[in-house]
Amino acid sequence: MKAKTLDKILEKRANSRYELIEVLQDVQHSYNYLPEEVLREVSERLDTPLIEVFRVANFYKAFTLKPRGKHLLTVCMGTACHVKGAPRFLDEVLGQLNIKPGETTEDGEFTVETVNCLGACALSPVVILDGTYHKHMTPAKLRALIQKTSDKSGKKAKKK
Amino acid sequence: MTVLTLKNFNKLSDEIKKKNKNYNKLITLCAGTGCCASGCLSVLESLNKELKKKKLTGKIKIRTTGCHGFCEQGPLMVIEPGNIFYCHITPGDIPEIISESLEKNKIVERSLYVDPSTGKKIAREKDIPFYKAQDRSILSQNKLVDPCDINDYIADGGYSALVKVLASMEPEEVIEEVKKSGLRGRGGGGFLTARKWESCRKAEGRPKYVICNADEGDPGAYMDRSVLEGNPHVVIEGMLIAAFAIGAEHGAIYVRNEYPLAVKHSRIAIGQAEKLGLLGKNILGAGLSFDIRIARGGGAFVCGESSALMASLEGRVGEPRPKDTHTTEKGFEEMPTNLNNVETLANVPSIMNKGAAWFSKKGTKTSKGTKIFALTGQVKNTGLIEVPMGTTMREIIYDIGGGPSNGRGIKAVQIGGPSGGCLPEKLFNLPVDFEVLTEFGAMVGSGGMVVMDESTCMVDVAKYFLKFLLDESCGKCVSCRIGLSRMLEIITDISEGRGTHQKLELLKDTAQTVSLASLCALGKTAPNPALTTINYFENEYRAHIDKKKCPAGVCRDLIHYSISEKKCKACGLCLKACPHGAILNGQKRRPLKIDQEKCHKCGICKEVCEFEAVTVS
């Protein structure tokens, strides 16, 4: 199944090593992270040494080599957010979920990441939960958001 | 779809303009990232439903556009004719807006903007102080076009500059015109655009490339995002004109992957332009061939630097190289490559259409035209603003920004991002100008302006930027990699109460070395945020070093939180809010206490307390 996804990603591309970052973006989009076996395959197909593929995967912040949780919470740490108390939210999130930035909760529900600026500074402080922007956050709002998301997740799991 | 040529372009653009006139009312709904986060998509849904119900579909045009700039007030809507401005709209407001404002031409009072300084309601967009004090030659175009519809752009006069250039100008004339305009790079360096184009044109080697730098990594700046999201065709047109002037065959837009909407809109725009024959082979039948690809960045700040960006475009890690040979001569694939920022390119079509004199009459002696700034932080009106170069910071912060957001005094503005600096209130009369700001230790940079009030600790700000830069340093130069970590160590010592004056001197020394010995602008300008805070806010450093106090109450090791027994009503809000379980719940209805051992000093309790019972000292 994994080879098929990669086929699709490479389908319309020139398959040159210049496309490496673009390909990795798409791989991460499909798998939520960069699985080792796919990276090995990418290295072969783009005729790029494996060490170079890993170097790129490690250098750029957008990539992660560890699987992410079901929900991805990104906390913006840009200047405008910092001035308006972003470190406080991080505290709130980390205290509540009991993890560090970049880590995933034990139950695999949440991954918390930080980003150096989302470019939504007028709405600061901002967090993104699964692609949706949440503006003017307060610790209380954030707490409710996390609670709501994990409740929903819990219900779905029960139904299954 | 007809393929456009120089001959049929005017006929087709007239046809599009005529079609647009069939509507007698126009609703412009902002769907930039800011307004989307505020829920404009559900407003749009409700708008479409209501129009259908009232059988008005087709009679009223709804245009979803890119960012209008006043993100704070989103979702925003402007109704024409009348220039009626509604803000903070919810789906529930829509029925009334349609029945009153559109059908009866009345104004819906409750959705109007309230000026926070006077408390008065303002109905027309152009009367709102935030907009009134600006000169929006680029940003105003966002409101006129649906970024996903090339027809809107053409109806607004889009691509006419390209037609003019291809039909009647020589490449050298184009460069001459840009030179006369005095346009300088809007991405940070402020390099003369025409000089870049000229040296790329003269450079040997084929193919040549024109690349648009949309890797806007500066924290606190988002104008490139808004222009690319809201009006991608103006950037494409700018690139086409640059390609003609330089003699380039291929182009790329290098855009942050954190900007999904900008990626999506530029993809759609490129597809539409290709279909109409505005990109590809023999453009407009005039012999120019040029294509554009989109490359998404990987979230590395250093990739905003030209040689690092080009390495990244080649699929490698983004490390800068020495620039003994400029990228205009040897850039992408070792070929001549011209790199311009989004905002720079967006200025080009207007310069071609309206002439160099129109552009150069605005601004100061060495900094011409208008510049977009992202005004954020502790100021009332946050958003994107555009002003002529030379406007003073005081005008920007107080006239447009409306002054401090919560009554505390403004003490500084951070301008220019991690390469810029913090300027104190006493320098707010300085004009925004490339040379003037650099002279005072900051820089125009890409145009982030973060306003800081008394609740911001300047030592903490310096620490924040050093952390940021260390995190983003690619690690190639020892001076930047090691130097920044030493600087961060020292400043951490100061912020945690271990600072001495010798250490502060060492910090200044190290800053100089980092600046002198690093290869690229990231390292060269890295000490700016720290040095400006030391220069202008020495008293705060003294308080941290001599008194072991943080006057703003931010540095966690120098403060402690307590609950006033007199003021505490034992409501329990802080008890619920504390993420670390540090509030001691003793007896019922008795004032609460903080367990100092468990307290992380995050300040959440202070924020939730409704009785101002939590104090920081």
- How far apart, in whole angstroms, are the C-alpha atoms of residue B167 and residue B79? 37
Q: Are B450 and A19 within 8 A, CB to CB? A: no
Asked if B473 and B483 touch (Cβ cutoff 8 Å), the reply is: no
Same domain, B441 and B536: no
Which of B453, B477, B512 is where one domain is finished?
B453
Same domain, B82 and B158: no
Quickly list H helices, B331-428.
342-354, 356-360, 393-394
* CATH at residue B523: 1.20.1440.230
Neighbours of A146 (CB within 10 A): 21
Q: Are A21 and B217 within 8 A, CB to CB? A: no
Mean pLDDT in residue range A21-37: 93
Cα-based angle B270, B274, B277 (whole degrees, multiple of 5): 140
pLDDT value for A52: 95
Residue A53, CA distances (Å) to A67, B205, B256 in order: 18, 30, 20
Q: Which amino acid is located at B49 in the chain?
A: K
Please give the domain boundaries of chain A with CATH numbers for all domains.
Answer: 2-59 (no CATH), 71-159 (3.40.30.10)
Which of B490, B517, B545 is where one domain is finished?
B545
- How far apart, in whole angstroms, are the C-alpha atoms of residue B178 and residue B201? 14
Q: Tell which B residues from 283 to 322 touch A, by Cβ distance under 8 Å.
A: 295-301, 312-318
Q: Are B376 and A121 within 8 A, CB to CB? A: yes
Same domain, B464 and B448: no
Q: What is the mean pLDDT of chain A?
A: 87
pLDDT value for A159: 57
For B521, the 3-state DSSP assignment is helix
Residue B513, CA distances (Å) to A90, B318, B462 in order: 33, 23, 17
Residue B600 touches chain A, beta carbons under 8 Å: yes
- How far apart, in whole angstroms, are the C-alpha atoms of residue B369 and residue A47? 47
- Number of domains making up chain B: 5
Give the model's confidence band at A158: pLDDT under 50 very low, under 70 low, under 90 confident, else very high. low
* CATH at residue B581: 3.30.70.20
Q: Are A83 and B579 within 8 A, CB to CB? A: no
Closest CA to B166 of B291, B15, B4, B293: B4
Searching chain A, which residue's CA lies closest to the CA of residue B314?
A18
Same domain, B206 and B165: yes
Tens-digit pLDDT profile for residues B328-374: 999 999 999 999 999 999 999 999 999 999 999 999 999 999 999 99
- How far apart, in whole angstroms, are the C-alpha atoms of residue B78 and residue B386? 19
For B64, the 3-state DSSP assignment is strand
Residue B75 touches chain A, beta carbons under 8 Å: no
Asked if B339 and B313 touch (Cβ cutoff 8 Å), the reply is: no
Q: Are B579 and A134 within 8 A, CB to CB? A: no
Asked if B369 and B359 touch (Cβ cutoff 8 Å), the reply is: yes
DSSP calls for A84-103: TTHHHHHHHHHHHHT--TT-
What is the residue whose two structure tokens read 């749009």?
A: B44
Q: Tell which B residues from 360 to 419 touch A, by Cβ distance under 8 Å.
A: 374-378, 382-384, 414, 417
Residue B9 touches chain A, beta carbons under 8 Å: no
pLDDT value for A17: 82
Same domain, B269 and B338: yes
Same domain, B534 and B566: no
Which pair of tokens denotes residue B12? Answer: 């087709």
Residue B475 touches chain A, beta carbons under 8 Å: no
- How far apart, in whole angstroms, are the C-alpha atoms of residue B258 and residue A62? 9
pLDDT value for B103: 87
Asked if the bond preceding B207 is cis, omega within 30° of 0, the reply is: yes
Set of chain A residues whose Cβ sits within 8 Å of the Cβ of B577: 139-140, 143
Backbone angles phi, psi at B133, to 5 degrees: -80, 5
Asked if B229 and B457 touch (Cβ cutoff 8 Å), the reply is: no
For an interface test with A, the pick among B139, B226, B294, B464 (most A C-beta atoms closer than 10 Å) comes out as B464
Same domain, B71 and B213: no
- B45 domain-assigned: yes
Q: Are A122 and B301 within 8 A, CB to CB? A: no
For an interface test with A, the pick among B222, B554, B571 (most A C-beta atoms closer than 10 Å) comes out as B222
Q: Where is B9: in which H helix or E strand?
A: helix B9-20
| Shortest distance, CA B408 to any CA of chain A (angstroms) | 13
Same domain, B93 and B160: no
Same domain, B186 and B315: yes
What is the residue whose two structure tokens read 């040159």?
A: A16
Searching chain A, which residue's CA lies closest to the CA of residue B454?
A83
Q: Which residues contact B596 (CB under 8 A, 6 or more apart)?
A: B560, B582
- B7 domain-assigned: no
For an interface test with A, the pick among B71, B224, B450 (most A C-beta atoms closer than 10 Å) comes out as B450
Q: Are B299 and A62 within 8 A, CB to CB? A: yes
Angle between helices B160-168 and B232-246 (to 10 degrees): 10
For an interface test with A, the pick among B317, B372, B463, B467 (most A C-beta atoms closer than 10 Å) comes out as B317
What is the residue whose two structure tokens read 């690809």?
A: B293
pLDDT greater than 60 at residue A118: yes
- B83 domain-assigned: yes
pLDDT value for A157: 62
Tally the C-alpha atoms within 13 A of residue A23's C-alpha that lie toward its C-beta. Answer: 33
- B183 domain-assigned: yes
pLDDT value for B4: 84
For B382, the 3-state DSSP assignment is coil
Q: Are B315 and A61 within 8 A, CB to CB? A: no
More confident residue, A3 or B107: B107
The closest CB to that of B577, out of A59, A131, A139, belongs to A139
Same domain, B110 and B167: no
- B17 domain-assigned: no
Residue B79, CA distances (Å) to A121, B145, B383 in order: 26, 14, 21
Q: Which residues contact B387 (CB under 8 A, 6 or more apart)?
A: B133, B134, B135, B370, B371, B373, B395, B396, B400, B432
- How far apart, in whole angstroms, are the C-alpha atoms of residue B550 and residue B555? 6
Set of chain A residues whose Cβ sits within 8 Å of the Cβ of B34: 120, 122-123, 135
| Dihedral (Cα; A84, A87, A92, A93), 10-degree rounding | 110
Q: Give pTM, 2 decimals.
A: 0.93
pLDDT value for A2: 60
Tens-digit pLDDT profile for residues A35-82: 999 999 999 999 999 999 999 999 999 899 999 999 999 999 999 999
DSSP calls for A19-72: GHHHHHHHHHHHHSS--HHHHHHHHHHTT--HHHHHHHHHHSTT--SS---SEE
Searching chain B, which residue's CA lies closest to the CA of residue A131?
B260
Angle between helices B478-495 and B538-545 (to 10 degrees): 60
Mean pLDDT in residue range A6-10: 85
Which of B426, B453, B480 is where one domain is finished?
B453
Which pair of tokens denotes residue B349? Answer: 């079509």
- B138 domain-assigned: no
* CATH at residue B180: 3.40.50.11540
Residue B552 touches chain A, beta carbons under 8 Å: no
CA B585 from chain centre, in angstroms, equals 45
Which pair of tokens denotes residue B464? Answer: 């924040």
The complex's ipTM works out to 0.91
| Shortest distance, CA B168 to any CA of chain A (angstroms) | 37
Closest CA to B130 of B65, B88, B85, B63: B85
Q: Where is B563: in which H helix or E strand?
A: strand B561-563
Q: Which residues pair with B254 in a beta bridge?
A: B213, B295
Mean pLDDT of residues grouped by 10 in chain B (617 residues)?
Answer: 82 84 86 90 93 86 92 91 93 92 90 90 93 93 94 93 95 97 92 96 96 92 94 97 97 93 96 95 94 93 93 94 90 95 97 96 95 94 94 96 90 93 95 94 91 94 95 93 96 96 96 94 93 96 96 92 91 87 83 90 87 90
Residue B130 touches chain A, beta carbons under 8 Å: no
* CATH at residue B444: 3.10.20.600
Set of chain B residues whose Cβ sits within 8 Å of the Cβ of A84: 377-378
- Range of the structural domain that residue B414 is part of: 370-453
Q: Which residues contact A48 (CB under 8 A, 6 or more apart)?
A: A17, A20, A42, B315
Asked if A30 and A67 touch (Cβ cutoff 8 Å), the reply is: no
Same domain, B211 and B324: yes
* CATH at residue B48: 3.40.30.10
Q: Which residues contact B109 (CB under 8 A, 6 or more apart)?
A: B121
Same domain, B187 and B110: no
| Shortest distance, CA B194 to any CA of chain A (angstroms) | 29
Q: Are A91 and B600 within 8 A, CB to CB? A: yes
Q: Where is B481: in which H helix or E strand?
A: helix B478-495
- How far apart, in whole angstroms, are the C-alpha atoms of residue B188 and residue B216? 10
Q: Which residues pair with B387 in a beta bridge?
A: B371
